[in-house]
């Protein structure tokens, strides 16, 4: 027994003693560890939905109350920019799910390239989203279309209470934008660990969980886009 143990110690790194190096000791099996992590992630996503939910409720109430101001405000948003960003996020969701697929089917490194390529593509589309967002924001800043008391737009189509629309616009897209930035950080972490070769059929939990988070960010944008850019 001790001989076998020594053999395994020399064959693998110092952590390996008959189980997967990423298998945490308080879980009976890798599958149990994966399922537990996944439930935790879904609970986190539930809190995220309720966080954004509060803003959506506020938007709904204020839109009913200041319809004219919201319609006038919405005309200052470029739907083409919004549509482009929608496409960026949808495609990045696809490349993310491809990364999860590659990681979960990665045996002896045969999907290693697919995994890393798709993660880099996801990061690229997320970056594209932020670049478009930057151009949109700087245009709003230039026009004085700012939230709350910072609003100082003086165009011919100025409507009373228009600042309310831009308060919601910046709060909702801003909070969403921070989520995109956070996701980009998380995907960068995945790329580094993927290059180290940490993810394969037996262990790909981080790829799966950050994938779920990324799809939720996409899902929230699916509602933000028509609400802010399209409804008149």
Partner 1 sequence: MSTHSETIGHGHGEETHEHGWKGYLYILLILLALTIITVTASRFDFGSSTANVVIAMTIATIKATLVALFFMHLKDDKPINGLIFVSTLLFLAVFLGFCLVDADSRFDTRPATYKGPVDQMALPTLDVDKSVAAPAAAAPAPTATGGEHGAAKH
Binding site for partner 1 (CB under 8 A): 30-31, 34-35, 38-39, 42-43, 45-46, 49-50, 53-54, 56-57, 60-61, 64-69, 79, 83, 86-87, 90-91, 93-94, 96-98, 100-101, 104-105, 159-161, 201-202, 204, 208, 211-212, 215-216, 218-219, 222-223, 225-227, 230-232
Closest CA to 125 of 170, 94, 169, 97: 94
> CA of 5: how far to CAs of 1, 25, 229, in Å?
6, 17, 63
Q: How far is the CB of 65 from partner 1 (least distance, A)?
A: 6
Q: How far is the CB of 191 from partner 1 (least distance, A)?
A: 19
Separation between Cα atoms, residue 165 and residue 151, nearest integer Å: 11
Partnered with residue 203 across adjacent β-strands are: 200
Return the axis-axis angle of helices 67-74 and 162-195, rounded to nearest 10°.
50
Q: How far is the CB of 123 from partner 1 (least distance, A)?
A: 17
* Nearest to partner 1 of 53, 185 (CB atom): 53
Q: How far is the CB of 141 from partner 1 (least distance, A)?
A: 26
What is the 8-class DSSP label of residue 60? H
* Nearest to partner 1 of 97, 175 (CB atom): 97
| SS3 assignment, position 203 | strand
Q: How far is the CB of 166 from partner 1 (least distance, A)?
A: 16
Return the axis-axis angle of helices 79-104 and 112-143, rounded to nearest 10°.
160
**In which element (H, E) is residue 151 found?**
none
Neighbours of 139 (CB within 10 A): 14
**Structure tokens that stand for 51 in this block:** 């966080």
Q: How far is the CB of 94 from partner 1 (least distance, A)?
A: 4
* Nearest to partner 1 of 184, 227 (CB atom): 227
* Nearest to partner 1 of 8, 138 (CB atom): 8
* Nearest to partner 1 of 6, 16 (CB atom): 16
Separation between Cα atoms, residue 18 and residue 160, nearest integer Å: 70
* Nearest to partner 1 of 30, 120 (CB atom): 30
């Amino acid at each position: 027994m001790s001989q076998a143990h020594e053999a395994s110690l020399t064959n693998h790194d110092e952590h390996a003693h008959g189980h997967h190096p990423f298998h945490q000791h308080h879980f009976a099996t890798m599958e149990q560890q994966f399922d537990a992590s996944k439930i935790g992630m879904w609970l986190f996503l539930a809190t995220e939905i309720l966080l954004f939910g509060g803003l959506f409720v506020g938007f709904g109430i204020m839109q009913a109350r200041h319809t004219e101001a919201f319609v006038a405000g919405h005309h200052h948003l470029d739907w083409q920019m919004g549509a482009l960003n929608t496409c960026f996020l949808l495609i990045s969701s696809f490349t993310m799910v491809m990364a999860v697929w590659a990681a979960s089917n990665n045996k002896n490194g045969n999907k290693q390239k697919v995994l890393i390529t798709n993660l880099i593509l996801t990061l690229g589309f997320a970056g594209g989203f932020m670049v478009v967002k930057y151009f949109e924001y700087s245009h709003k800043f230039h026009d004085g279309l700012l939230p709350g008391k910072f609003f100082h737009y003086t165009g011919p189509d100025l409507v009373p209470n228009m600042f309310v629309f831009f308060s919601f616009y910046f709060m909702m897209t801003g909070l969403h934008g921070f989520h995109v930035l956070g996701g980009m950080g998380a995907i960068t972490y995945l790329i580094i660990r993927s290059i180290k070769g940490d993810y394969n059929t037996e262990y790909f939990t981080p790829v799966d969980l950050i994938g779920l988070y990324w799809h939720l960010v996409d899902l929230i944008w699916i509602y933000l886009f028509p609400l802010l850019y399209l409804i008149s």
